[in-house]
Amino acid sequence: MKRLVFIHLFYAVSHFTFGQYVISGNVKDEKGNALFGVNIYIKDTYDGASSDLNGNFYFKSSVSGKQTIVTSYIGYKLIETEVNLVGDLIGQQLELQEEINKIDGVTISAGAFEASDKKKSVILRTFDVVTTAGATADITGVMNTLPGTQTVGEEGKLFVRGGAGHEVKTFINGLLVAEPYGQTPQNIPSRFRFNPFLFKGAFFSTGGYSAEYGQALSSILRLDTYDLPARSQTDISIMSVGADVSHTIKKDNTSLYGQVQYTDLSAYFSLVPQKYEWNDAPKSLNSTVHFKQKFKSAGHIQAYLNYDRSRMKVNQPLPGKIYETGLFDIDNDNFYSNLAVQNSINDRLSYRGGVSFSANKNEILMGEGFSSKSNIRSSHAKLVFDHDASEHVFLRFGAEWIFNDHKEIIVENENNSPLNFDIDNHLATTFAEGDVYFSNALMARIGLRYEYNSLIDNKYIAPRASLAYKLNKNSQFSFAYGKFSQLPVKEYLYWSNMLEPEKATHYIFNYQYNKTGRIFRAELYYKKYEQLVTKEFIYNQSPLLKSDGYGEAKGFELFWRDSKTFKAIDYWVSYSYLDAERKYDIFPAPVMPYYASNHNLSVVYKHFIAQLKSQIGWTYSFASGRPYTDPNTGSLNSEMTKSYNDLSINYSYLLKPNMIIHASLSNVLGFRNIYGYQYNYEPNESGEYESIPIEPQAKRFFMIGFFLTISKDKNANMLNNL
Amino acid sequence: MKNSIVLLVFILSVHLSFANKYESAMGSAIEKLYAANDQETYVTAATTFERIGDAEKDQWLPYYYAGLGYIWTSNTINDGNKIDEYLDQAQSLMDKAEKLSPNNDEIVTLQGYIYMMKVVVDPPTRGPEFSGLAMQEFGRAVGMNADNPRALLLLGRMKMGTDQFFGNDLSESCGMISKASQMFDDQKTKSKLDPVWGKEMAEMFVNECKSN
């Protein structure tokens, strides 16, 4: 009892009688700037103060003896100082060191465009996909308004920095998508298969990207379905070209999404005259299922399934032929699925990975007895570990395996026996990469990627390196270098397994200025190609293929986005200059490839008018001429088309908070855009090769749709999803 | 014996004063927070709560008020980066409070408040996502406790903003605001440290409704 009393007394006395020492001083950062709002206190007591605007602090302690003084401030390293409080501590000079911030600090911006709503600096917002005029809710459409891309109107795919379409690879949740675009007849642009509404973030790299990715010489596009939806809801869209119904069920940490979309262009084609004669206008059935379960530990598992079936039959005009047309009959089935997991093992180590599988069945019938039946299967398995190794080092390492099986039977005409192709390739890769933060202003990324292709029995080691330096709060420089390799496309592999992988080396220098609501980027690059496949036709024999092609692409790009200067107006401008030449395919000497254009410009404008509950937008795109070969001249790719011009507009009207009416019209001003020319393979009687221009099958495209969202929250509409 | 009793009483009073130390420190800090009017006074109040929270370790209220202090600090400045820093700070405090007291309607309300303030920095970029999230949190808080005037008030204000944006009739959202404003007068609190703020804000919003 006595002892207890004594202890209590001691406590009481020590708290209320002793102490009362003054602790005062000043807090600065490493550069000597006064810090305001720093919390300085004695551990486990209420005694303390925060620094004022001049960094000064002053408080009285109620304790004495051995104590710990804590200095704490967000973004700075915590300091704990042991003191023996037996008298006043006046004039303490404290210096706080900035904490390395791996998320919002210096980042590699060379070649990288991020679309996200989470991060503070993003080039695109996710709902730009549906609100950008001319993009027609197509993910590639909006990416095509960014610098580094070239307008190739007849393909509708992404073409990056003088590279071919197949040099861009698409990933969903980090897993490969083998066939991201729908199948279309030649000269008719294809669309991205996947509904943009499901993607929360996108990462588009125009070069110099991480060692985590490979088998893409030019670019990667990574889409992420991340967050759980806000609520259960049903979305219904009725469009002039089809209808779409989706339903989301959300319960706690689980969500299930199902969607069916049916598109049929026959009604539209019967109203608006088309250049081509359609026996069957494009029809497609596209359905998606997405399941997501969030773990308590902040990890998640998700499954994504997509089935896309399309059919169309068209007769296209042929050069030099008046009574004959070229038949193109397509029947395509594509199934894509992936299962992705992400979870943490401990505070510093986490893993992510999964498997994807796709199957594509394609049947094409063309005039003169030509037909092709193909079955393409592709599987991808991947596992990556992310390790926060230390305050300065972040490591990423992993392995992946991709299996491709291409089967195709081609009948050239009734006289020849069918050609039967079957190629299998296993790609095994492993990679390791480290992000080293020297300070909050300087970081380096160094990585190495190893690849092995079984089909051509080839091993390859690809080094990657980037450096980023932050000049000040708003601007930074970055530099990226990397070697990239890619297995030649199947059309070459069908004929030879003696080829080397095609190779590219990137050098990118980037400056980025970023302040709330405004972004400016300037980028300079040089890309070198090696071992491109060349093809030589030999009469009555298989084509002769060699890996002796080469090429280069260089240029600079500018980007400016501003949503701040003018109220309710958001606009961006992209300009790309490209100088590309390559010796590839049938070209015996370096030429500018047909998909390249020297100048590309996009201006995107969006204006929300609250009083009218409307958003209006327009996009102007310009591309200088593209090369084509006129056999009458005898030289290759020596002719240039006229430049490309398009002004597209769109209009969205919020009828009610959960009802949107959207309309869009392309090429308002009716420019005649010619992408190139198709020549007859033989000259006419006067020795001239006749041609027809390759151009859009109608000058303009018009779309109107009605979008309805049904949920408990009456204000929810489809734009909330993004 | 007598001595023992005196001692015991003394000990008890010492113990009481320990217990009261938390209450009195919180009480005076709350007063200072409500009286704060600029960046410096708000930060001073917020850091006081942080100290109390770190010393107590198992009380959610100090972190709650510290978070509130930083939210209000962010409202006194214009620099977007700085606003984000204060809101990040508030967020980390809210995470601590949430751990100590899960499913607490006051904490959920403040979470919504953080989202609401995030929109201010860059409305065109953040509006679509964060205003949705804010509405969701306010709605959740009202669902947990229909008598929480702050949750209803902020829900009403967010809805009013959306309705103004879409040019809708404001009667529903203003109705929520005026109902919330009346609820402030008969708030039931379990302890005198519980949150009671919001009446002045409610009056401001009621006037906004009148002028529309």
For residue B4, the model assigns a pLDDT of 64
CATH architecture label of A112-721? Beta Barrel (2.40)
Asked if A716 and A230 touch (Cβ cutoff 8 Å), the reply is yes
More confident position, B120 or A302: A302
The full set of domain ranges for chain A reads 2-96, 112-721
pLDDT in tens, A145-180: 999 999 999 998 999 999 999 999 999 999 999 999
For residue B21, the model assigns a pLDDT of 86
Instruction: Compute the 3-state secondary structure of chain A and give helix, strand, coil in percent, each to the nearest 5.
Output: 5, 55, 40
What percentage of chain A reaches a pLDDT higher than 90? 69
pLDDT in tens, A214-265: 999 999 999 988 778 777 889 999 999 999 999 999 888 899 999 999 999 9
Class of domain A2-96 (CATH, top level): mainly beta
Plot region of A270 (φ>0 → left; ψ -120 to 50 → alpha; else → beta) = alpha
Can you tell me the mean pLDDT for B136-162? 91
Q: How many CB pairs under 8 A join A and B?
A: 98
Residue B53 has pLDDT above 60, yes or no: yes
For residue B192, the model assigns a pLDDT of 86
Out of A5, A45, A657, closest to residue B55 by CB? A45
For residue B19, the model assigns a pLDDT of 62
Burial A37-73, CB ≥16 within 10 A → b, else e = bbbbbbbebbbbbbbbeebebebebbbbeebebbbbb
Look up residue B162 and give its amino acid.
Answer: T
For residue A721, the model assigns a pLDDT of 44
Residues from chain A that touch B29, judged by Cβ atoms under 8 A, are none
Q: Tell whether ipTM is more than 0.95.
A: no
Q: Is A18 exposed, middle or buried (0-12, 13-18, 19+ CB in 10 A)?
A: middle
What percentage of chain A reaches a pLDDT higher than 70? 94
Residue B189 has pLDDT above 90, yes or no: no
Residues from chain B that touch A608, judged by Cβ atoms under 8 A, are 124
With residue B43 as reference, give the H or E element that holds it.
helix B39-56
Taking an 8 Å cut-off on Cβ atoms, the answer to whether A720 and B168 are in contact is no
Provide the pLDDT confidence category of residue A128 given band limits of 50, 70 and 90: confident
Residue A456 has pLDDT above 70, yes or no: yes
More confident position, A689 or A201: A689
Can you tell me the mean pLDDT for A546-555? 96
Between A391-400, A630-639, B15-24, B35-44, the lowest mean confidence (pLDDT) is in B15-24
Task: Choose the mutation target among A516, A571, A609, A713 for the interface with B, i.e. most B CBs under 10 Å.
Answer: A516
Out of A11, A52, A657, closest to residue B162 by CB? A657
For residue A458, the model assigns a pLDDT of 92
For residue A199, the model assigns a pLDDT of 84
pLDDT in tens, A512-524: 998 877 899 999 9
For residue A713, the model assigns a pLDDT of 65
Provide the pLDDT confidence category of residue A17 given band limits of 50, 70 and 90: very low
Q: Which residue of A has its CA nearest to B8?
A: A5
Can you tell me the mean pLDDT for B155-168? 84
Between A507-516, A621-630, B180-189, the lowest mean confidence (pLDDT) is in B180-189
Can you tell me the mean pLDDT for A116-142? 76
pLDDT in tens, A258-317: 999 999 999 999 999 999 999 999 999 999 999 999 998 779 999 999 999 999 999 998
For residue A28, the model assigns a pLDDT of 94
**Over the Cα atoms of chain B, what is R_g?**
20
pLDDT in tens, A39-60: 999 998 999 999 999 999 999 9
For residue B9, the model assigns a pLDDT of 58
Residues from chain B that touch A722, judged by Cβ atoms under 8 A, are 128-129
Residue A121 has pLDDT above 60, yes or no: no
Nearest to A335 by CA among A313, A354, A310: A310
Provide the pLDDT confidence category of residue B92 given band limits of 50, 70 and 90: very high
Residue with tokens 């003169």: A368
Out of B52, B80, B168, closest to residue A46 by CB? B52
Return mean pLDDT, chain A: 90
Nearest to A70 by CA among A52, A86, A89, A47: A47
Can you tell me the mean pLDDT for A529-538? 95
For residue B156, the model assigns a pLDDT of 93
- Chain B segment 31-50 residues within 8 A of A by beta carbon are 40, 43-44, 47-48, 50
More confident position, A115 or A447: A447
CB atoms within 10 A of CB A395: 18
With residue A513 as reference, give the H or E element that holds it.
strand A502-515
Taking an 8 Å cut-off on Cβ atoms, the answer to whether B11 and A50 are in contact is no
Can you tell me the mean pLDDT for B112-141? 85
For residue A634, the model assigns a pLDDT of 83
**DSSP string spanning A591-645?**
B--TT--SEEEEEEEEEEEGGGTEEEEEEEEEE---EE--TTT-STT-EEPPPEE
Give the neighbor-by-neighbor strand order of the sheet with A56-60.
Answer: A56-60, A22-29, A89-96
Query: What token pair was written down for A456?
Result: 């051509």
For residue A16, the model assigns a pLDDT of 47
**DSSP string spanning A538-601?**
-TTSPPEEEEEEEEEEEEEEEEEEESSSSTTEEEEEEEEEEEEEEE-BT-SS-B--TT--SEEE
pLDDT in tens, A574-619: 999 999 999 999 999 999 999 999 999 999 999 988 778 889 999 9
Nearest to B180 by CA among B155, B207, B149: B149
For residue A561, the model assigns a pLDDT of 93
Instruction: State the nearest Cα–Cα gap between A652 and chain B, in angstroms.
Output: 13
Residue A10 has pLDDT above 50, yes or no: no
Out of B14, B50, B84, closest to residue A120 by CB? B84
Instruction: State the nearest Cα–Cα gap between A39 and chain B, in angstroms.
Output: 6
Provide the pLDDT confidence category of residue B105 given band limits of 50, 70 and 90: very high
More confident position, A671 or B12: A671
Q: Which residue of B has its CA nearest to A42?
A: B51
Residue A722 has pLDDT above 50, yes or no: no
Cα–Cα distance between A20 and A86 in angstroms, integer?
10
Asked if A49 and A58 touch (Cβ cutoff 8 Å), the reply is yes
For residue B12, the model assigns a pLDDT of 55
For residue B52, the model assigns a pLDDT of 94
Nearest to A496 by CA among A550, A533, A539: A533
Taking an 8 Å cut-off on Cβ atoms, the answer to whether A46 and B122 are in contact is no
Residue A12 has pLDDT above 50, yes or no: no
Provide the pLDDT confidence category of residue A96 given band limits of 50, 70 and 90: very high
User: Which residues neighbour A409 within 8 Å (Cβ) at sequence distance 6 or greater?
Assistant: A372, A373, A374, A418, A419, A420, A421
Out of A1, A50, A230, closest to residue B132 by CB? A230
For residue B67, the model assigns a pLDDT of 96
For residue A584, the model assigns a pLDDT of 95
pLDDT in tens, B168-186: 788 889 999 999 999 998 8
